[in-house]
Amino acid sequence: MTIVAGIHAVAEYLKSTPERVLRLSVQRDRRDEALSALIRSARDHDIQVTQVSRDALNRISEGTVHQGVAAHCQEFQPRTEVEFESFFETLTDPFLFAIEGVQDPRNLGACLRSAAGAGVDAVLLPRNRSAPLSSAAFKSASGALSSLFVVGVANLARRMEWLQAQGVWVVGTDDQAKQRYTDYDYGSSTLVVVGSEDAGLRALTKERCDALVSIPMAGSVPSLNVSVASGVVLYECVRQRAHQSTTD
């Protein structure tokens, strides 16, 4: 079972995939319109609502800030690579995103939120060496997981090679790269790859990339948080693609 905590995240699940919500736990002594709206929505979908104490809700939400509500949902299962290959065949100029080695669930959730906001077609998430899709990740994602096509991959480097064989250009982010992220052409089929908070991309992953790009930094700050960097690069892709569509 997956716990999704927080008013916005729960509201998004009730809106997009109510069939995955098994029941709601709400704080007994909390009264506000946002929470009341969630209760009404749950009951409209015949979802059980249970009143619990704040302490009980703290335990249920596993330390995540819950804002008085937690949804007990069917366990989130990433899509298989077989499913991804079938889905890939339906895409035109695919816009893909891979997250390698991110260890903080909140960073992972924020990366997924950026991906959903940018409208990526699919997110590739290694099955190993990655933060779990925990309550904290769901909270940071703010409901993004309900709309994303997330794929669990056994070997990211091998999957990158497969995508390259299908005509997808692979672009990795690297603080030391000489090419600025704004100087790369993302107009065609593209996979953007970001790495872990501390080490960035693994050496093998860098070798498999067609290009490496960096975000120039001013002052003494060496780099951006991985979720912020993800948003910067992904939205540059969006900007370029939008510009290209208006000039074609």
Note the pLDDT tens digit of each residue in 53-100: 999 999 998 877 899 999 998 887 899 999 999 999 999 999 999 999
- The alpha helices in the chain, defined as continuous H runs, are 7-16, 33-44, 54-60, 81-88, 105-118, 135-141, 156-165, 203-208, 226-247
**Chain segment 87-134, per-residue pLDDT in tens:** 999 999 999 999 999 999 889 999 999 999 999 999 999 988 788 887
Claim to verify: residue 108 and residue 26 sit in the same structural domain: no
Claim to verify: residue 130 and residue 242 sit in the same structural domain: yes
Instruction: Tell which of 73, 93, 115 closes a domain.
Output: 73
Mean pLDDT across 7-18: 86
Domain housing 51? 2-73
Q: Which of 150, 151, 149, 147 is nearest to 15 (CA)?
A: 147
Claim to verify: residue 85 and residue 69 sit in the same structural domain: no
Which is it for strands 69-73 and 21-27: parallel, antiparallel or unpaired? antiparallel
Q: How many CB atoms lie within 10 A of CB 95?
A: 21
Which is it for strands 2-5 and 69-73: parallel, antiparallel or unpaired? antiparallel
Claim to verify: residue 127 and residue 91 sit in the same structural domain: yes
**Chain segment 200-215, per-residue pLDDT in tens:** 999 999 999 999 999 9
Claim to verify: residue 12 and residue 128 sit in the same structural domain: no
Claim to verify: residue 107 and residue 171 sit in the same structural domain: yes
Total count of domains within the chain:
2
Instruction: Tell which of 73, 98, 123 closes a domain.
Output: 73
Claim to verify: residue 64 and residue 93 sit in the same structural domain: no
Instruction: Tell which of 46, 73, 100 closes a domain.
Output: 73
**Chain segment 138-170, per-residue pLDDT in tens:** 778 877 777 899 999 999 999 999 999 999 999
Claim to verify: residue 110 and residue 172 sit in the same structural domain: yes
Residue 3 CA to residue 234 CA, distance in Å, equals: 28
Q: Which of 150, 149, 194, 188 is nearest to 169 (CA)?
A: 188
Claim to verify: residue 58 and residue 95 sit in the same structural domain: no
